[in-house]
Amino acid sequence: MTLHQDAFLTPAQFGYVIRKPAGVAGLITPWNTPFMLETWKLAPALASGCTVVLKPAEWTPLSASLLPEIAAEAGLPDGVFNLVHGIGEVAGAALVAHPGVPRISFTGETTTGQTIMAAAAPHLKGLSMELGGKSPCLIFADADLDRATDSALFGVFSLNGERCTAGSRILAERSVYPDLVTRLAARAERIRVGEPSDPATEIGALVHPEHYARVLSYVRAGQAEGARLVAGGSRPAGLAEGNYLAATVFADVGPSMRIFREEIFGPVVCVTPFDDEAEAIALANATRYGLAAYIWTRDLARAHRVAHAVEAGMTWLNSHNVRDLRTPFGGVKASGLGREGGAHSLDFYTESRIVHIPLGDTGVPRFGA
């Protein structure tokens, strides 16, 4: 399979670029939105002509198990799509280390991404990795507070907070900070926590007891470090069993606190005041991560200034997480490397090669004549 892309013409020479499938693509996907992220990776890898080995997260294997049947029904030849279940330290590690897999696309924790990068280095594999996040939601005093509150709450509590682009740090201008904290706390107390099968549920059970314990450890850390707990922080009433945590809001969170700096990946949000634009940018950038950012202001010039200054791969102005799937998805700093989405995915799963054809005398110097 060869994809033609660009052509270049000069009076003496014609050049054109062809794209070849990179080969076998290893796709390692997370547990938080398993079927969506599996298909996000599968479609462009197959469209690029690669054969695929998919290793889904061991905590959420069931949805991936539907894919072989779907692939067969679609008429995909045997061996083009391959599914391997297993824990990351065994199945995932084998996929990364195999010399016959030149591309690895991984979505997951930053520490796992670092391990993958080290294991892939001896083979100089191409990597695309969307890793952790600790994304800021900056709310200036001139923002529409009703809409900003709605967005901030949705941004951290949807998907139980188990989302890489969660706006888990809300930074509010000091003049609106007290009002915003009150709004967030009151709304969080009313968020419905319950069984995932209940259509009225807004926050369901966290994915696994190990992860539930990890999230609770951050709640305890926030309290120990002096953050002010204004909502949640414990198991909701009426849910004696299961991995349930009420929507949790911490106020007066300082940048040195673990809950400000580290990814929690649960229904926990930190609220921090700032005095001016410069401090807002400094606080937004005061983590190792740089995946997403959300900015709320009616001042268009300021919106652009802050968007350019905040270290994030993706920024939303006065909106939340609505994106064109053709645009580049990914982060900076410890949030990963590479971009996927639309043509960016095709770039990753193919290798570009240039072919040059002379149309006349190219005037080669005659050494040794």
Residue 32 lies in a domain: yes
Residue 58 lies in a domain: yes
| Active-site choice (38, 130, 162, 263) | 130
58 plus 177 within the same structural domain: no
Whether 37 contacts 9, CB under 8 Å = no
302 plus 155 within the same structural domain: yes
Per the annotation, the verdict on 164 as an active-site residue is yes
Distance CA 232, CA 218 (A): 13
The enclosing domain of 124 has a CATH number of 3.40.605.10
Provide the whole-model pTM.
Answer: 0.93
Tell me the two tokens of residue 333: 């700093």
**207-216: pLDDT as tens digits:** 999 999 999 9
Residue 329 lies in a domain: no
**50-84: pLDDT as tens digits:** 999 999 999 999 999 999 999 999 999 999 999 99
Specify the number of domains making up the chain.
Answer: 2
Q: What is the per-residue pLDDT for 2? A: 58
**84-141: pLDDT as tens digits:** 999 999 999 999 999 999 999 999 999 999 999 999 999 999 999 999 999 999 999 9
67 plus 172 within the same structural domain: no
Average pLDDT, the chain: 95
**11-25: pLDDT as tens digits:** 788 999 999 999 999
Residue 367 lies in a domain: no
Q: Which three-class secondary structure state does DSSP give residue 314?
A: strand
| Active-site choice (50, 137, 164, 270) | 164
Residue 178 CA to chain centroid, in angstroms? 31
71 plus 145 within the same structural domain: no
107 plus 253 within the same structural domain: no
| Side chain identity at residue 342, one-letter code | G
The enclosing domain of 307 has a CATH number of 3.40.309.10
By the 10 Å C-beta count (0-12 exposed, 13-18 middle, 19+ buried), 365 is classed as exposed
300 plus 256 within the same structural domain: yes
The pair phi, psi for residue 45, each rounded to 5°, is -65, -45
**326-365: pLDDT as tens digits:** 999 999 999 999 999 999 999 999 999 999 999 988 888 8
Whether 81 contacts 54, CB under 8 Å = yes
Tell me the two tokens of residue 115: 């391990």
Question: Residue 5: which pLDDT band, with cuts at 50, 70 and 90?
Answer: low
DSSP 319-345: S-S---TTS-B--EETTEES-BSTHHH
Residue 161 lies in a domain: yes
Q: What is the per-residue pLDDT for 361? A: 83
118 plus 153 within the same structural domain: no
352 plus 277 within the same structural domain: no
Strand partners, 340: 329
Per the annotation, the verdict on 279 as an active-site residue is no
pLDDT mean over 35-56: 96
Distance CA 346, CA 48 (A): 6
83 plus 103 within the same structural domain: yes
125 plus 244 within the same structural domain: no
Distance CA 116, CA 353 (A): 27
Q: What is the per-residue pLDDT for 1? A: 58
**224-255: pLDDT as tens digits:** 999 999 999 999 999 999 999 999 999 999 99
Q: What is the per-residue pLDDT for 323? A: 87
Residue 103 lies in a domain: yes
Residue 90 CA to chain centroid, in angstroms? 24
149 plus 296 within the same structural domain: yes
Residue 326 lies in a domain: no
Which residue range(s) make up the domain with 62?
3-131+335-356
- 337-346 contacts, C-beta under 8 A, 24 or more apart: 337/127, 337/128, 337/129, 338/127, 338/128, 338/129, 339/128, 339/313, 340/40, 340/41, 340/44, 340/105, 340/128, 340/130, 345/44, 345/45, 345/48, 346/3, 346/19, 346/44, 346/47, 346/48
181 plus 269 within the same structural domain: yes
Residue 41 lies in a domain: yes
Q: Output DSSP code: residue 133.
A: -
Tell me the two tokens of residue 182: 């009150």
